[in-house]
Amino acid sequence: MLSYVVKLTRTPAAMERSDVGQLRDVGFSDRDILDIVEVAAYYAYVNRVADGLGVDLEDWLGEN
């Protein structure tokens, strides 16, 4: 699942049906796959909006 999300995030145009097939092969349902895609896409969207607007990180996120 994590490899799928990394590929979707970094190179979305490279996604293929076989990527979904690999998730099915390890037991993810179509609903599971939809949820995985929606969460990854939502976070990518929100990050791009924040970056595009120059939104700074919350102070607590910069702490180690």
Q: Is residue 42 part of a domain?
A: yes
**pLDDT at residue 64 tops 60:** no
**Which tens digits make up the pLDDT trace of 1-34?**
999 999 999 999 999 999 999 999 999 999 999 9
- Domain assignment of residue 43, yes or no: yes
> What is the number of domains present in the chain?
1
φ, ψ (nearest 5 deg) of residue 50: -60, -45
* Cβ-proximal residues to 14 (8 Å cutoff; 6+ apart), any chain: 7
pLDDT of residue 56: 86
Residue 58 lies in a domain: no
Please report whether residue 64 resides in a domain. Answer: no
Question: Which residue range is the domain that position 17 belongs to?
Answer: 2-53
**pTM for the whole thing?**
0.81
62 assigned to some structural domain:
no
- Assign 63 a pLDDT band (cuts: 50, 70, 90): low
Q: Within a domain: residue 15?
A: yes
